[in-house]
C-alpha cells in the first residue's frame, strides 16, 4: 500500500502519458514491466502506481522517490533508458514533472 | 494520511494545471481553499492532495472519490463552480482525467 503525506521527505513524479485508447493496455503493461524489472531495484525508489483513465486516453504514473537526485540518477541509468523508450513508443506524448506535496485534505466529519 | 491501493473501490482524479511560476503559489492556495471550503463536504469525497512542481510550472491535484458519479455530481454542484472558476484563472491550462489504479509497486528487497 502506498501512502501520501506532506511530512514524508522525498519527491513525487507525476507523468501523464497521452495515448490512443486502442493502445492504453499495452502502455500500462510496459510501464508495469519497467517498474518491476528496473525501477524498483534502483537506489531511492519508494513506489510507483500506474493509473489508467476511464476514457482510455491517458495513463498516469504516480511515483515516489527519496530525492530529486535519485530520480535524476535513474534517468541516466543504462538499464532504465531502454524501458523508458519502449514505454514512450505507444504514447502520443508525456509530461513528466517532479513535485512536492503541499497539502492533503480528507473528507469532513 | 492518504493511501493508494488498487483494492480500494473508487476513482482517482489527476488534474495537472500549467501555470506561470510567478502564480504557482496563488494557484496552490486557491486549490487548497476550494478543497477545504467545498470539496471535502460533498458526498463521495475521499481525499485531495495538492502538489507543486519543483520547477514552478505545474500544480497537480490528486483526488480520490467514491465513484465517478460522485465526482460528476460535484462538477454540477452550485457551490463548486465558483471555486473551480477561480482556480482556473491563474492557470494557463488544465487536464482533468478520472482514473482507476492498475498496480502499485514498492521498492525491492
Half-sphere exposure of B33 (CA within 13 A, CB side): 12
CATH of domain B13-99: 3.30.70.100
| Average pLDDT score over residue span B1-19 | 95
In chain B, which residue's Cα lies nearest the Cα of A107? Answer: B40
Percent of chain A with pLDDT strictly greater than 70: 100
pTM, two decimals, is 0.96
| Average pLDDT score over residue span A25-53 | 96
Percent of chain A with pLDDT strictly greater than 90: 89
A67 lies within 8 A of chain B by CB: no
Q: B1 and A62 in contact by Cβ < 8 A? A: no
Closest CA to B60 of B12, B101, B108: B12
| Average pLDDT score over residue span A46-64 | 98
Q: To the nearest whole number, what is the mean pLDDT of chain A? A: 95
Q: Which pLDDT does position B45 carry in this prediction?
A: 97
Confidence of residue B84 (pLDDT cuts 50, 70, 90): confident
Confidence of residue B3 (pLDDT cuts 50, 70, 90): very high
Q: Which of A39, A54, A100 lies closest to B99 in CB terms? A: A54
Instruction: Answer yes or no: is the ipTM higher than 0.85.
Output: yes
Q: A3 and B5 in contact by Cβ < 8 A? A: no
Cell numbers describing residue A77: 541509468
Alpha carbon distance B44, B66 (integer Å): 5
Cβ atoms within 10 Å of A108's Cβ, excluding its own: 10
Cell numbers describing residue A62: 504516480
DSSP sequence for B77-101 = -TTHHHHHHHHHTTEEEEEEEEEEE
Structural class in CATH, domain A11-99: alpha beta
**Least confident residue range of B2-11, B37-46, B58-67, B78-87:** B78-87
Determine the residue among B104, B108, B109 to mutate to test chain A binding: the one whose Cβ has the most chain A Cβ atoms within 10 Å: B104
State the nearest Cα–Cα gap between A19 and chain B, in angstroms: 13
Question: Residues B26-74: pLDDT tens digits?
Answer: 999 999 999 999 999 999 999 999 999 999 999 999 999 999 999 999 9
Domain-by-domain residue ranges, chain A?
A: 11-99
Cell numbers describing residue B97: 482525467
- The answer on pLDDT for A41 being more than 80 is yes
- The answer on pLDDT for B109 being more than 80 is no
Q: Which pLDDT does position B81 carry in this prediction?
A: 87
Q: Is the dihedral of CA A97, A98, A104, A107 positive or negative?
A: positive
Confidence of residue B106 (pLDDT cuts 50, 70, 90): very high
SS3 sequence of B66-80: CCHHHHHHHHHCCCH
State the nearest Cα–Cα gap between B23 and chain A, in angstroms: 15
Calculate Rg over the CA atoms of chain B.
Answer: 14
Amino acid at each position: 500500500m502506498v501512502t501520501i503525506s506532506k511530512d514524508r521527505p522525498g519527491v513525487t513524479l507525476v507523468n501523464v502519458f497521452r495515448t490512443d485508447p486502442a493502445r492504453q493496455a499495452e502502455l500500462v503493461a510496459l510501464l508495469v514491466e519497467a517498474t518491476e524489472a528496473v525501477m524498483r531495484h534502483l537506489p531511492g525508489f519508494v513506489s510507483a502506481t500506474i493509473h489508467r483513465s476511464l476514457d482510455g486516453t491517458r495513463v498516469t504514473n504516480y511515483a515516489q522517490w527519496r530525492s530529486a537526485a535519485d530520480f535524476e540518477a535513474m534517468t541516466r541509468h543504462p538499464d532504465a533508458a531502454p524501458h523508458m523508450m519502449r514505454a514512450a513508443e505507444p504514447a502520443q506524448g508525456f509530461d513528466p514533472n517532479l513535485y512536492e506535496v503541499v497539502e492533503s485534505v480528507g473528507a469532513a466529519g
